[in-house]
A and B are shown apart, each in its own frame.
Chain A
Amino acid sequence: EAGVVQSPRYKIIEKKQPVAFWCNPISGHNTLYWYLQNLGQGPELLIRYENEEAVDDSQLPKDRFSAERLKGVDSTLKIQPAELGDSAVYLCASSRRSGGDEQFFGPGTRLTVL
């Protein structure tokens, strides 16, 4: 079975520009996660979706970050406007359900903000 797909793999933008990341989870996985991984750190959860509903977005900086999963399948994470401190790897993961099922991770999108 195909794994979690993310695009683009790399993105370089100027500060104050918008940027979007796309994620297609494993087929049949109802739960989708977006994580932020800073250099030398472990991933930190940004948002969790159960189907199309964002059930945990407590760690998402809502002033500049937004996410959607309109049909309960693929998802987009957006930053507008980007700041220098947003340079990081953005990881997407999916699982059949939440509550302890194994999460499968995509390769991530490495964002560089100049």
Chain B
Amino acid sequence: AQSVTQLDSHVSVSEGTPVLLRCNYSSSYSPSLFWYVQHPNKGLQLLLKYTSAATLVKGINGFEAEFKKSETSFHLTKPSAHMSDAAEYFCVVSEGYGGSQGNLIFGKGTKLSVKP
């Protein structure tokens, strides 16, 4: 069965410094992987997705993630944090087969805090 593990429940950075949110996945198949962001009292928004094309995926708001099969990782990065990036981030894998194909499996989330 597919699963994702977000290695940090909380990450705190200063504005203007790099962001790294870590995610490892487990999958028997070539996975589809996503990062979603959830701002308080707002719906989840897709940041980026990997679907077996380029291993470096660029998303919205300057975020990107790199798929590393050898490390089973899909870490999210951004060169310079902005105050508006403060939110909860979810690493997600898509079920790959059978009747559950396309169902999303979410990690537990990483809360990103950005200090001025």
Contact = CB atoms under 8 A, between A and B. Distances in A.
Q: Do A and B bind each other?
A: yes
Question: Which size class do A's interface residues fall under?
Answer: 20 to 34
B100 interface: yes
Do most interface residues of chain A lie in helix, strand or loop, or is the interface mixed? Answer: loop
A99 B99 CA distance: 10
Nearest to A99: B102
Contacts of B102: 31, 95, 98-101
Given A44-B106, A45-B103, A100-B102, A91 B44 contact: yes
Given A100-B51, A102-B49, A3 B43 contact: yes
Contact of B104 (A3, A45, A55, A107): A45
A27 B101 CA distance: 23
Interface residues of B, number: 23
Contacts of A28: none
B99 A55 contact: yes
Contacts of A40: 108-109
Given A41-B108, A41-B109, A106 B43 contact: yes
A61 interface: no
Interface string A85-98: 00000010101001
Contact of A48 (B42, B43, B103, B106): B103
Interface string A24-60: 0000000100000000111111001000000110100
Interface of B: 32, 36, 41-46, 49, 51, 90, 92, 94, 99-104, 106-109
10 contacts: A4-B43, A40-B108, A42-B108, A56-B100, A91-B43, A100-B32, A100-B94, A101-B102, A106-B43, A107-B41
Interface of A: 3-4, 31, 40-45, 48, 55-56, 58, 91, 93, 95, 98-108
